[in-house]
Amino acid sequence: MNSPISPNAVTSPVPALIVQLRQAMREKGLDAYIIPSADPHLSEYLPERWQGRARYSGFTGSVGTLIVTAEFAGLWVDSRYWEQAEKELAPTGIQMMKIPSAAATMHIDWLAANMHAGQIVGIDGAVLGLATARALEQALSAKDVRLYTSHDLLQDIWADRPPVPVAAIYEHAAPYGVVSRSEKLQLVREQMQAKGTDWHFVSTVDDLAWIFNLRGADVSYNPVFVGHALIGLHEATLFVSPNKIPADIAAALAKDGVKIAAYESAAASLSALPDSAKLLIDPRRITYGFRQAIPQTVKVIEAINPSVFAKSRKNAQEAQFVREAMEQDGAALSEFFAWFEQAIGKERITELTVDEKLTAARARQPHFVSLSFNTIAGFNPNGAMPHYRATPESHSVIEGNGLLLIDSGGQYLNGTTDITRVIPIGTVSAEQKRDFTLVLKGMIALTRTQFPRGTLSPMLDTIARAPIWADGVNYGHGTGHGVGYFLNVHEGPQSISCYAMPEPHTAMEPGMITSNEPGIYRPGKWGVRIENLLLNVPAQTTEFGEYLKFETLTLCPIDTRCMDLSLLRDDEINWVNEYHATVLERLLPRVSGDAKAWLQERTKAIAR
């Protein structure tokens, strides 16, 4: 199980940090220690304070699990990150452990296979999801291995650890905050009562932001704040640092029966619940540490947070605001691509330049707040890494021939955007056009699908993959994720993914916004991904029930220069032409000059 240190290890601080961690493990009598990609809110994107996995592994991707023993250090990552992890782990001595998807629990299987009776595995219970904790306990107890969760080792050894973030909280106010805070609290309380509970504990930051109509800047790219909430039938307490909330917002919260308490006091408030309390918690959205704080006398009901369903279903006013945000985003993209096509070959353009120019174009649009995630601009082999990110130390100049993949998005007060386009640089090969066209066929197939209301979203994944599978090709990520309304760019409960379980809570309902982003990746060569956001809208009602269809929200041309028209059916060509006609009609009033000329050129109808 030894993991030899690379000859280049001196260039990385990680080996020394691992030595430090192992010393702390010995002092606590731990035989293995787990550092997940998690915080007390089980967030996907983490404030710096909880980015221990990145610090102690050197891997900067958003998902991964680090396990350290006396003789072994391994990082479990899914296929989206294999190339990135291989490069970033090379100088650390940490072994990459490949898993098929982010939902895989192979690190738990590894622990069960490699730990011995009487040994102790440690992890900070404050960042350990309850559902994961149960899986860990079950696997380890079968081997007579104990799980130790009561201490955060990183707190002992991370000398300059960042504090809990303290960015100011602000209202998501009218007109964009369409539904009032009191209405949302009433909706949650009705669901609490329907489940026979009188209290509900919420830790997930996007649920908090949605319920209380508040936004923040504690997490990069997502307009959320760290906090917890304990909601009763007649009162609610929001646990945040008091200095984060301006006086006027505190007064408005008080008017709606919401008290403010210190962020650190949430567990104590749970422990103080009366014996007669009946508490609703979501086992996938609460940590093991908070579950341990609940008195045994309290009756606990486990179910998905009511707000997860409610915020996923955008109402008619919210959907209309999102359409406007898509027009703003499309105008910014038109401006950027017009500049790019004029500058390529004349100026030195790198992947970093793409990020800089595209961000600037978005920032000029009304209601822009921030990007919705790190811009991915990957030229040729870099585009083959789905979550690639260019850095000042490592990036490519865009020159010669090939494909440039750009996955980007914006946070606007009136909506969240996420779009991927691939554009040709110089001459595009027949193989590259084939991959592009197969991905396009998959994207069109899913876009045009009509399906019964309540269809479990993972079941739709194969529709996008079928044209790609037919060529003996596949991709290692899901096809679609939910998208928030000026909230997280990734949200549930729906997920169009063959890696997600088709559980009842994944049912497709009207008003949900989901990405559609199939891809093909040739490691070391190029990558193709085409992404639009789709809105679930009513299609028809028959004797077999209600049916839904997708409305395409994203407005930006798909580059016809990368298409192999011989692979497209007439109906697929018609779809492209109709989509481009819509893009032109919707964006034309918002662009001028070079951007207008570019838009008109790139939306011209195609024919065989």
Q: What is the pLDDT of residues 310-361, one digit of tens each?
A: 999 999 999 999 999 999 999 999 999 999 999 999 999 999 999 999 999 9
What pLDDT band is residue 102 in, cutting at 50, 70 and 90? low
pLDDT for residue 100: 77
pLDDT at 103 over 80: no
Average pLDDT over residues 147-151: 94
β-bridge mates for residue 529, sequence order: 519
pLDDT for residue 372: 96
pLDDT for residue 5: 33
Residue type, 559: D
Report the C-alpha gap between 200 and 238 in whole angstroms.
12
The residues, any chain, with a CB within 8 Å of residue 257's CB and separated by 6 or more, are: 185, 234, 235, 236
pLDDT at 8 over 60: no
What pLDDT band is residue 499 in, cutting at 50, 70 and 90? confident
Q: What is the pLDDT of residues 479-490, one digit of tens each?
A: 999 999 999 999
Largest CA distance in the chain: 73
Average pLDDT over residues 464-486: 96
pLDDT at 391 over 90: no
CB 439 within 8 A of CB 469: no
The residues, any chain, with a CB within 8 Å of residue 221's CB and separated by 6 or more, are: 45, 370, 371, 372, 373, 374, 411, 489
pLDDT at 6 over 60: no
Residue 202 has which token pair?
């919420």
Q: What is the pLDDT of residues 502-535, one digit of tens each?
A: 999 999 999 999 999 999 999 999 999 999 999 9
What pLDDT band is residue 176 in, cutting at 50, 70 and 90? very high
Q: Which domains does the chain have, with CATH numbers?
A: 9-157 (3.40.350.10), 170-311 (3.40.350.10), 313-602 (3.90.230.10)
Average pLDDT over residues 193-220: 96
Q: C-alpha 579: how far from its chain's center?
A: 27
State the angle between helix axes of 461-469 and 430-447 in degrees (0 to 180), rounded to the nearest 10: 150
Q: What is the pLDDT of residues 14-23, one digit of tens each?
A: 999 999 999 9
Average pLDDT over residues 110-138: 95
- pLDDT above 70 covers a percentage of the chain that reads 98
Calculate the dihedral angle through the C-alpha atoms of 211, 215, 217, 222, rounding to the nearest 10 degrees: 70
pLDDT for residue 61: 85
pLDDT at 270 over 60: yes
Q: What's the predicted TM-score (pTM) here?
A: 0.92
pLDDT for residue 44: 86
- pLDDT above 90 covers a percentage of the chain that reads 90
pLDDT for residue 132: 92
Q: C-alpha 165: how far from its chain's center?
A: 20
The residues, any chain, with a CB within 8 Å of residue 462's CB and separated by 6 or more, are: 498
CB 219 within 8 A of CB 46: yes
Average pLDDT, the chain: 94
pLDDT for residue 227: 97
